[in-house]
Amino acid sequence: MKTLPLIALFMTSFLFAQQNREALDYDQNPNYQISQQKYMKESPKYVALQGTTLQQTYKAIDPLEEKRELKALKKRYRAERLKWRHEERMEKYKNGYVEYYDVPRSSINFGWGWNNWNNWGRYYSPFSFNYGFCY
């Protein structure tokens, strides 16, 4: 009577093992679940790319093309130089930059504060408005 639970346990484990064996296809690797679990987690990132073209392009050695690219780059830089200079100047003045000597930073120039016999050392502020009293 005491051996009955043992026999039942043995039978259950045998049946379980048998069932597991039956789940395998012919010639299927019994360790397939290790790989299955790994790829079940990773599949979304691969599946999302289906039907698309992955661009893994390289830069070919082509002197003529390089020349063209360089020319286009120079053209672009030339076009943007004016803007860059302006931005540079703005940044300078924002940080309190004054050419040659310090002058009061008034936004309105009434013509005093410096001599006007030449442009040297003239304080220029992009925020100021010159009323024409002083050039």
| Interacting residues with another protein (CB under 8 A) | 46-65
Alpha carbons 135 and 118: distance in angstroms, whole number? 8
Tokens of 33: 């679940």
Q: Which residue has the tokens 């987690």?
A: 41
CB of 32 to another protein, least distance (A): 11
C-beta of 19 vs 52, nearer to another protein: 52
Containing 129, the helix (H) or strand (E) segment is strand 129-130
Nearer to another protein, 34 or 61 (CB): 61
* For another protein, the closer CB: 37 or 50: 50
Three-state DSSP class for 130?
strand
Residues 6+ apart with CB under 8 A from 62: none
- Taking the complex as a whole, the smallest distance from the CB of residue 54 to another protein amounts, in Å, to 5
The smaller minimum CB distance to another protein, of residues 39 and 117, is found at 39
Three-state secondary structure call for residue 108: strand
In the bound state with another protein, the residue whose beta carbon lies nearer, of 45 and 78, is: 45
Shortest distance, position 45 Cβ to another protein, whole Å: 11
Q: From the CB of 80, what's the least distance to another protein, in Å?
A: 25
- The rounded distance, in Å, linking the Cα atoms of 37 and 26 is 21
Cβ at position 46, least distance to another protein in Å: 8
Structure tokens at 100: 């040659």
